Structures are given as structure tokens and as C-alpha cells.
Amino acid sequence: MSALRHLLTLAACVLGASGGQAQTITSTGGLSFGSFVAATGGVIAITPSGGRSKTGDMFLVQQGENSSAAQFIVIGTITSTYAITLPADGTVLLWSSSHTMAINGFTSHPSGTGTLSGGGAQILSVGARLTVGNAQAPGSYTGAFLVTVNYN
């Protein structure tokens, strides 16, 4: 079975504001599920800290493209709190030619709510689960997702 390469250099942006300084979120690194051989399929999970695990019948390849959580920097009013909105299940797909895989179970650190530092910034990390089909077609799959932050 050929190794599948799934480099997900995606990510997102966007802003929210409510009084004070405008708030911004900027991608500093993409979400990547790394390389693997699908066999009969399963799920690959990337944690917000960048850990990779699998369930099902797949082989995770350690060489080549590394897996990683998506990284963002949120900037705004010093010590403000903000709400984090991640994609809902069933809304994000990766594409390679006419083949797709679904990404679900988005998680972040911080989770739900973040607090900007005394310098007005915070790193936001995002992980997710990739569903790999039985004999998933080899290729380089890409896509994008949206993360939104809004002042509380």
C-alpha cells in the first residue's frame, strides 16, 4: 500500500472586536496529520500540544512531513478575555483531486476562553481528528478551516 501524505497547511484567521483595541488572530503554523498508510482506515488525532495518535488499521509514517497542531497568535487589549469558536463537526473536508477526508473534533488550548497576557497576546493551539477511509486514495490533501475569537 502506498504511503499517504497529508499535509494540512491550513488555517484561519479572523477577528472580533468589542470596544478597546481591535483584536486579531494570525496563523503561525498549519495543522498537519503527517504521513501514513491507510490500510482499512481509521482516525488520526492531533492534540493541541501536537501529539499524534491513531485508531483503526493504519500505519503512521515517522519520516517525511511531521504532524503538528495549528498555531495562532491572538493580539488585543491587555488582560482581556476572549471566546474561541472552532469549526463544528461535519463542516471541514480535506481534498486531493476528487477524494476527500473529514476533519472533526476540533479542540484548542486554551479551550473555550483565552486571556491575553500583560503584553496583549496569547498563543492558541488547535488540534482535530481526521477520518481516513478504507484504502483511502494516496495524495496530498489540503483544506482550510476558520477559527474565530471575540472579546467577552
Tens of pLDDT along 117-139? Answer: 999 999 999 999 999 999 999 99
Q: Quote the CA–CA distance of 137 and 142 in Å, as a whole number.
A: 14
97 pLDDT higher than 70: yes
Gyration radius of the chain over CA positions: 16
Where residue 66 falls among pLDDT bands split at 50, 70, 90? confident
Instruction: State mean pLDDT over 103-117.
Output: 98
Residues above pLDDT 70, as percent of the chain: 85
Q: Looking at the predicted structure, is the pLDDT value of residue 88 above 50?
A: yes
Nearest to 103 by CA among 72, 60, 69, 73: 69
Picking from 49, 54, 57, the residue whose alpha carbon sits closest to that of residue 125 is 49
Which of 20, 62, 60, 54 has the alpha carbon at shortest distance from 37? Answer: 60
3-state secondary structure of 14: coil
Q: Return the pLDDT at 11.
A: 34
The 8-class DSSP code of residue 112 comes to: S
Q: State residue 22's pLDDT score.
A: 79
Cell of 129: 481528528
Q: Is pLDDT of 13 > 50?
A: no
Would the pLDDT of 18 be above 70? no
CB 72 within 8 A of CB 64: no
* Tally of domains in the chain: 1
* Selected residue with higher pLDDT from 60 and 17: 60
Give residue 90's pLDDT. Answer: 96
**pLDDT score for 62:** 80
Range of the domain at 58: 4-151
Is residue 109 within 8 Å of 48, Cβ to Cβ? yes
> Would you say residue 5 has pLDDT above 50?
no
3-state secondary structure of 15: coil
Rounded mean pLDDT, 84-112 = 97
